[in-house]
Chain A
């Protein structure tokens, strides 16, 4: 019969798939590190990726910034979410999952910056010019400096507590290597500040001012000015702020319509869009807009309302507020700085020139100098824009008060208070005592997950 031929066919069938290439099934949408850093397009893509990670709420897009606003006195946190609430009630625990996510996401961004800074100089692509490389590395260094700056403010006490010798976050500048996992210990704040200063100083010459949706020279200088201010190196702070103010690419906006634009008020603004948005719910737009579109968690505190109420007709209030239902169902005042809680497309105002006027004023005042302008002139200039009358004289309280009203909800308030030795909460508010400079719960815990697996990491006291 034909059975024997069937035999042969069958044996052939049985082993027909014996070749190995049938086992290949590669990802169709992803690249390996080698492929990414093989050419200019890939490397610049990796650089863009840092900004993209920055769009997570925990990085530049609001969660991190607003934590500080409700830990201090600008926001009355009325939301229900326990991990946010803990921070506003000074009952933060080491297993706070919002804080651990924030930690992770910022290290993700730092890690990618480390890659770009390390790998681009080693690349062989002849089409990748040295100018392009220098610019890309400078952008990454600026971003790394900003990331370290934000993290060091949250996870350790400020310079004022121990002259910068207290523990901050670990200092990591090498890219992730699967064959060399690191278990770093915490660096001192001075070490972190030194890295920030070096990164910014090296970045400034290679940056330009062409696109304020990305790192600019002025933004790097402004961050350096902020660093000097926080370190109480007032003349340097005033000098650096003065350089930014004299940069013709940027100028003080004439009114408050610049939010959510790329107006040249901004030295660097993170651009979000409907198709590439902030993390929904948890970022600037979601938290600071009333319900139902937003979450309604973060209305003005009574203390901030009172501050604006001191003077009639402050445009920084009247032009920038909306009234709506908060998370607790009450009618409250909310900011309009971060529109569109539906698609979360509002931009993040990372660094804008107004801060430089305030920094110049404060630093000059503290140093007793008048680099660029006298403190009174800077303050009156801002007051004029706010439609308030000129003052005859200024003191530190007035400068800080103006700084508060200009930069409310943008993530400055907490550090502005701490570095001036002031409690985060004003008299009459909750948790005044727990909010003093140096108090345990004014800074975040190192996430318990990290302390658990890295014995070199020391936990902050009280956690």
Chain B
């Protein structure tokens, strides 16, 4: 398949190489708007030819054309202007705003729509918002960019998977991530890689962020219902870059280098402090009896990582053909030793107007990621975890400077210096499409897309770290294809009636195959692969997959651009659900009223645009895994996670079977019903624009892991459709142009998303002592009826009594106790923020620009589970806070008296590990300078921009969070395990300098 696509691409590419020889004379000029501000990026085409150019940063252009030919100027939001070439060599024009004001076109599901006619809540993130953010994966670009989108980085490990929620989490046990669609192809974002203690690698880390032109975030049912069974968590549409018809070929080269370092690390005891601690707490007789070594592990597993990034792209188009080709090479060092990423990525996007009725095109992106991984979170091989816990007198080297094995808390310095832990992925995503214009108003589109991943994870641990050596190899391949047919109808009749509609069907199939093996018994560290091992370990070969068929339709009718109604419908069938419940129907209706188009508003000059809109609809969620509805007895090995206690069905060479999953043949779709009402207003010559949306989303038939007593055959839970949950809130986007003069401008954009999550009912779930039904997510948090899905449920810690030296807690009734039990747990916090958002300020002075961007989260609690270990009075190294030991009455101590019965349990699970997780972070600070055009006048270079960027350099957070990064997510995506950290590596601080040159 891939080679065929390559052939087609080669052919298409042949069309593109197109040189014009019709030189006559050079026309120059400047394009400005009505206020006289230069307009960069205006498209200028010699009408009827393939010759075209764009204005530079100062609005200047230069084009060759003949006398009598017509220059066509076009720019988003401006009326297209034409000028016939006469005797003069200079044509400067002032472009007027389009009478239809904001005729901005936005990408929506299965098509585009003008912003004016949108009845949906869609947030757009454009190239200029994201181009300065150095990102490994696409999701990173979304943080703080759009209202109602909460993005939490899971860790500072390269390639780690962030958690994204759109308007809160709409599910409890089904997946909570939005659907991601790249150029119309819904991607699989199921993790194929192993977790290695923390989260699996970001499944979208091999989509190159540099290729992304824009995001459309579909937030409400009206926008997402057409994705039916997968729309309930919202949809992120990604458009990759493309050339433009008639655009002069533009070459862009962007090079940057960056340095990254760690933001926050725990303050752990030194060897001397640790020895003294043991003596002070009676665990050792004297300092001299203890081992005398000393090593600062936390300091030695972090570093300043140096990274280089090169992006090269070429884009352009003739009248019939557009193209974009991009190439990226990234060579990145993380701030944790042994964490490196090398990426090669290429993309080519083409369209060709073959005849007046046939258009064909192809988008193809390939990425190779080579990641040198490190463990994270809950792993003794994770550099940061083990560095915190390692006894500080243990040294990584012996007296001769050779590595030593440090036992269960592994020598992570030796592991990172010696062992191999590589994860390589090769991903191909793309589609080819054809559009046939059947009638002037009716277009048929056929689209065939693929998403293919090959992953290989190879690990080799050498003699010193694993006696006799160890190797494992895991290969996974995902093969997905999507076939979509649609008919688009678009017409205007009677001057004022605009009608558009789309109907279609789509079929998707995904298959994943996995193979792994491991072995021990290597003669020499020089032998790398399993072929050299003497003792084969466990082998695995398995497959899974799913199929989905969907039929969809949507219409949009606008009367005089004032009154707009829209409806959409989708019927989906999925192999994931029980035979009786495979199909589900999803729909939405909406309307909008553009008040500013009304006659009575024509005289209100200070209002440029005023629209109110509302919609209501139903969308679904199918993120339950491929075989969740199936009763399954399994034979061989099930998964590689020994902590699950699941090994295999076999014994002593005899094949066996055991119950893996009881399944539920009646499992059906989870449905989210939501409404959204909003208004959009632009004031004072569009210098102030405000969007406000209120929404309420109710999820019913919640797909719930109903926990049952394990006395039922060791089964922990049964998946069922039970219960209801609600998210309601307000999204606000405010954009202002604060100052606009010839040389200086300052604009601000603010987005805020308020969301309140509440579990409405959980019939069938267990009841707590207050009679509230709940589903436990972790030992610290629960979804509780009447409360948030991520409610912390903990014993309340009071602190050390300064008189008695005992640690004290509160019992259920609020009385002080020194012997709390789990019966004393109460609702203690919520992992969901009251609001999240972003604030961006852009200042421009002549050729300088300054951009600073904060993202923030307010009102969420976080549970730092790792503190139970890092503050364990007996084993492991400890935080220096534990040096504050109670010795005599009156001491205001952190640690209880070593004589107290509470000494060994003061660190037990309680609010002692709970923190206020609110923060505001200076996510990005960029200073740019563009060379004035006169510098470049006689060169082939059309623009040069130098920029310097700093990321995450400043964070405002609670004083209790010293050494703790507020962005946490313990082991991934589970909706009921949010806001917890078990040694989650912190975010990195990055400093970057770069240059962008266009030709």
Contact = CB atoms under 8 A, between A and B. Distances in A.
Interface of A: 3, 6-7, 10, 13-15, 17-18, 20, 22-33, 35-36, 42, 45-56, 58, 79-82, 85, 89, 91, 93-95, 97, 101, 103-112, 114-115, 170, 172, 175-176, 178, 181-184, 213-214, 271, 273-277, 279-282, 291-293, 295-297, 325, 327-329, 342-343, 447-455, 457, 459, 463
B896 to A, nearest CB: 13
A178 to B, nearest CB: 5
B23 interface: no
A176 B712 contact: yes
A275 B538 contact: yes
A28 B632 CA distance: 11
Given A20-B573, A91-B904, A107-B710, A30 B647 contact: no
Contacts of A35: 633
Given A30-B660, A80-B876, A184-B711, A213 B573 contact: no
Nearest to A213: B652
Interface string B790-829: 0000000000000000000000000000000110000000
A110 B650 CA distance: 17
B714 interface: yes
A23 B547 contact: yes
Contacts of B467: 292-293, 342
B113 interface: no
Interface stretch (B57-65, B255-263, B405-413): B405-413
A178 B389 CA distance: 43
Contacts of A13: 446, 485
Contacts of A280: 642
Given A107-B714, A279-B642, A451-B822, A45 B407 contact: no
B186 to A, nearest CB: 16
Contacts of A93: 822, 905, 908-909
Contacts of B663: 178
Contacts of B658: 46, 49-50, 52-53, 108, 112
B656 A453 contact: no
A27 B664 contact: no
Contact of A274 (B444, B536, B872): B536
Contact of B545 (A25, A29, A277, A463): A25
9 contacts: A6-B444, A10-B436, A25-B547, A51-B656, A52-B658, A275-B537, A291-B407, A342-B468, A449-B707
Given A6-B444, A45-B656, 5 more contacts: A47-B656, A49-B656, A276-B650, A342-B466, A449-B710
Nearest to B819: A462
A51 B651 contact: yes
B649 A170 contact: no
A103 B408 contact: no
B546 A31 contact: no
A277 B535 CA distance: 12
B714 A108 contact: yes
A114 B868 CA distance: 39
Contacts of B626: 25
A36 B657 contact: yes
B768 interface: yes
Interface string B632-658: 111110000011010111111111111
A58 B291 CA distance: 34
A264 to B, nearest CB: 17
B657 A31 contact: yes
Contact of B712 (A30, A111, A275, A282): A111
B78 to A, nearest CB: 36
A82 B505 contact: no
Given A91-B904, A329-B291, A452-B766, A107 B575 contact: no
Nearest to B411: A292
Contacts of B636: 29
B634 A30 contact: yes
Contact of A23 (B573, B655, B662, B664): B573
Contacts of A82: 868-869, 872, 874-875
B633 A91 contact: no
Task: Name the 3 nearest CB pairs between A and B, nearest first.
Answer: A111-B713, A108-B714, A48-B656
A333 B548 CA distance: 60
Q: Which of A48, A55, A97, A279 has the most CB of B within 10 A?
A: A48
B111 interface: no
Nearest to A47: B656
A407 to B, nearest CB: 24
A114 B712 CA distance: 10
Nearest to B868: A82
B537 A329 contact: no
B709 A453 contact: yes
Contacts of B446: 10, 13
A25 B649 CA distance: 23
B659 interface: yes
B776 interface: yes
B29 interface: no
A271 B635 contact: no
Given A10-B444, A281-B642, A45 B635 contact: yes
B507 interface: yes
Contact of B633 (A36, A213, A447): A36
B605 interface: no
A46 B656 contact: yes
B92 interface: no
Contacts of A30: 627, 630, 632-635, 660
Given A23-B575, A95-B779, A343-B535, A80 B409 contact: yes
Nearest to B439: A3
Contacts of B483: 17
Contacts of B536: 274-275
Contact of A80 (B405, B537, B660, B875): B875
Interface string B874-888: 111000000000000
A44 to B, nearest CB: 8
A68 to B, nearest CB: 19
A52 B649 contact: yes
A327 B710 contact: no
B645 A56 contact: yes
A81 B407 CA distance: 13
A49 B632 CA distance: 13
Contacts of B715: 108, 111, 176
Interface string B661-675: 011100000000000
B438 interface: yes
Interface in B394-418: 394, 405-409
A25 B908 CA distance: 46
Contacts of B631: 32-33, 178
Contact of B655 (A45, A170, A183): A45
A228 to B, nearest CB: 27
B485 A181 contact: no
A319 to B, nearest CB: 23
A329 B505 CA distance: 65
Contact of B711 (A24, A182, A282): A182
A184 B712 CA distance: 9
A27 B635 CA distance: 12
Given A31-B657, A32-B630, A104-B716, A85 B711 contact: no
A249 to B, nearest CB: 18
B322 to A, nearest CB: 24
Interface string B441-478: 00010100000000000000000111110000000000
A275 B652 CA distance: 10
Contacts of A81: 408, 875
Contacts of A10: 436, 444, 446, 485, 487
A80 B389 contact: yes
B505 A27 contact: no
A33 B633 contact: yes
Contacts of B548: 23
Nearest to B519: A274
A325 B398 CA distance: 15
A23 B709 contact: no
A343 B630 contact: no
